Amino acid sequence: MPIKVLAFDGDDTLWHNETHFHLTQQALRDLLLKHAPDADVDNRLFATEMANLSLYGYGIKSFTLSMLETAIEVTEGKIPASDLAVILGWGKRMLQEPTELLDGVTEALREVSRRYSVMLITKGDLFDQESKLARSGLAELFSGVEILSDKTVDSYRRVISRRGIEPEEFLMVGNSLRSDVLPVVRLGARAVHIPYYLTWSHEHVEESSLPAEGWYRLDRIGEIAGLLASIDNGARSPD
Amino acid sequence: MPIKVLAFDGDDTLWHNETHFHLTQQALRDLLLKHAPDADVDNRLFATEMANLSLYGYGIKSFTLSMLETAIEVTEGKIPASDLAVILGWGKRMLQEPTELLDGVTEALREVSRRYSVMLITKGDLFDQESKLARSGLAELFSGVEILSDKTVDSYRRVISRRGIEPEEFLMVGNSLRSDVLPVVRLGARAVHIPYYLTWSHEHVEESSLPAEGWYRLDRIGEIAGLLASIDNGARSPD
C-alpha cells in the first residue's frame, strides 16, 4: 500500500530544542557550583525529572520546576531565593526562544507536501508547542497538527484511526528512536529516523531493541523526498 | 436545527478545580505573612499570573511557577529556599488531587449521552487534563475529547468544523461566561452557564457584555436533560 500521510516530529526534527535544554543545564551546573561544589548536578537533575515525569509531563515548565527542586536539594536549602529567581528567568527565556528551524526543513516540507498529506505530531506541553509552531512559520504546510502528552503505540493508533488512516499508509519522521520510531513500527506503520546531534537521556534506546525492518535512517531532512520516491518504487525494506 | 452535539467543560463544571487553587492561595498568604506581613499577596499573585499567561498558559504548573515568583518578589528575596520547596510541594499535591466530581455529573452525562453525542472540551495543561479525565472515570462517556490551550471563537470553530458539526447543532455547557459561553454564542452556537461557587478573577466577565440570546443558565448539571427537552420542543429562547 503506498504511503499517503507523512507525519513529522517537531522538537529536534524541524526545529532546535535539546540545545536550549543543554545550555540551560550547563548554566545550572555553573550556578550551583558555588553552593555545592561536589554535587553531580546532571544526574540529580535527571533523577528529579524522571521522578516528576508522571506528575509534570514533558516541556519547559516541567524542566524549570525540576531545576528548582534540584537546586534546593543539592544545596540542602542553602541556595538564596535570588538564585532561584535566576532559574525561573531561564525557564521564561527558553519559552521565548525563537523557533529556529533545522537546515532544509522548509524546502523538504514544501516538496513532500505536493505528493503527500503532511502532519505535525509532537509531544510535550500544549501551550509551548502551539506557540513554537506559530512562531515557526510552518503551520500552513500541515494538513493536521497533533500535540500529544506522550508518544506511545496507543497514542499513535488513536491519531491515525481518528483520521481514517491505515498504518500501512502512514510514515513518521523524527529524531527520537523511542518516540518517533519504535511505537510507529510496532503499530505496523513505517518510520524514518533522522538523528539530532544531542539526545536527552530519557529518549535514548539501544538500537538492538529496535525491529530490523519497517524503518529507515537519514542524515538530514533534505533526503526525505528521495527516500519516499524509492519506497514508492517498490524498494520497501530499509537500505 | 436540533442540537446534536453537547460539549461539557471539565474544571468546575464536571469536577472541582478552583477550590484547590483557592485553598493553596490561602496557604501561600499564610506562608508569606511571616516574611512580608504587609504584602497584598492575592493581588501580586494575580498580577504575576496575568503577566505570565502568554508565556505559561493555564494550569497547575503555571500556577506553581507564578507562586514561586510572587513569593520571591514580595519577600524581596528574603524567603528561604526551604519555604520555596514547600510551594513546589503544593504544586505536586494539586497535581495528584483526586478528580472529585460535582454532584449529579455521572447521572447527567449518562442521561444526555443516550440522545446526543457528548464531548469534553477543556482548556489548560494537556498532561494535567488528560490525567484528570483518566482519574474521573468519565472517559468512556465522551465520544470526543478536546484539550485546548485557550477557549476562543477560533478554537471552538476549529473543533466543530474539523468534526463536521454546524454551530446550530452545537451546545456547550460550562461554568465560565468568558470561556464556555461568550465565544460559543459569538460563533452562532448555544451555551449553558452553570455557575460554580468560586470564579477565578481572570474568568470573570460582566453579564451586561453578554448577548441577550443564545444561552441559558442552570443551577445544577442535573437540570440539563430537562432544558434540552424544552429546547428541542421549540422553546429556543432563554427564560
Chain A closest-CA separation from residue B130 CA (Å): 8
SS3 B170: strand
Q: What is the pLDDT of residue A203?
A: 79
Residue A112 to residue B219: CA distance in whole angstroms? 53
List of residues 6+ apart from B122 with CB closer than 8 A:
B9, B10, B11, B129, B133, B146, B147, B148
Residues of chain B with CATH 3.40.50.1000: 5-15+100-232
Residue B171 pLDDT > 60: yes
Residues of A whose CB is below 8 A from B65: 61, 64-65, 88, 91
Closest residue by Cα to residue B34 from B79, B70, B81, B93: B79
Rounded to an integer, the average pLDDT of B156-161 is 94
CB A8 within 8 A of CB A120: yes
Q: Would you state the cell numbers that stand for residue B76, as one nine-digit string?
A: 524581596
- For residue B104, give every residue at least 6 positions away whose Cβ sits within 8 Å of its Cβ, in sequence order, or none: B220, B221, B222
pTM: 0.90
> Predicted ipTM?
0.89
pLDDT at A200: 82
Residue range B141-154, pLDDT digits in tens: 999 999 999 999 99
Give residue-wise pLDDT tens across range A184-229: 999 999 999 999 988 888 877 888 888 889 999 999 999 999 999 9
Mutate which: B35, B48, B55, vs A, most A CBs within 10 A: B55
**Neighbour-count burial of A70, counting CB atoms closer than 10 A to its CB (0-12 exposed, 13-18 middle, 19+ buried):** buried
b or e along A140-178 (b: 16 or more beta carbons within 10 Å of the residue's beta carbon)? ebbebbbbbbbbbeebbbebbeeeebebebbbbbbbbbb
Q: What percent of chain A has pLDDT over 70?
A: 97
Judging contacts by C-beta atoms under 8 Å, the chain A residues touching residue B62 are 61
Extract the C-alpha cell encoding A82: 535570588
CATH of B5-15+100-232, one of 3.40.140.10, 3.40.50.1220, 3.40.50.1000, 3.30.950.10: 3.40.50.1000
Among A95-109, B112-126, B221-235, the minimum mean pLDDT is found in B221-235
Instruction: Look at A81 and B79 and tell me if their CB atoms are within 8 Å.
Output: yes
Tell me the pLDDT tens digit for each residue of A148-182. Answer: 999 999 999 999 998 999 999 999 999 999 999 99
Q: In what order do the strands lie in the sheet with A215-217?
A: A144-148, A117-123, A5-8, A170-174, A190-193, A215-217
Residues of chain B with Cβ-Cβ distance to A126 below 8 Å are 57, 125-126, 147, 149
A72 contacts in chain B (CB < 8 Å): 81-82, 84-85, 88
Domain with CATH 1.10.150.240 in chain A: 18-96
What is the Cα–Cα distance from B174 to B191, expressed in whole angstroms? 8
CATH T-level topology, domain A18-96: DNA polymerase; domain 1 (1.10.150)
CA angle (A175, A178, A183) in 5-degree steps: 110
Which pLDDT value is given to residue B235?
Answer: 47
A1-42 pLDDT, tens digit per residue, is 899 999 999 999 999 999 999 999 999 999 999 999 999 999
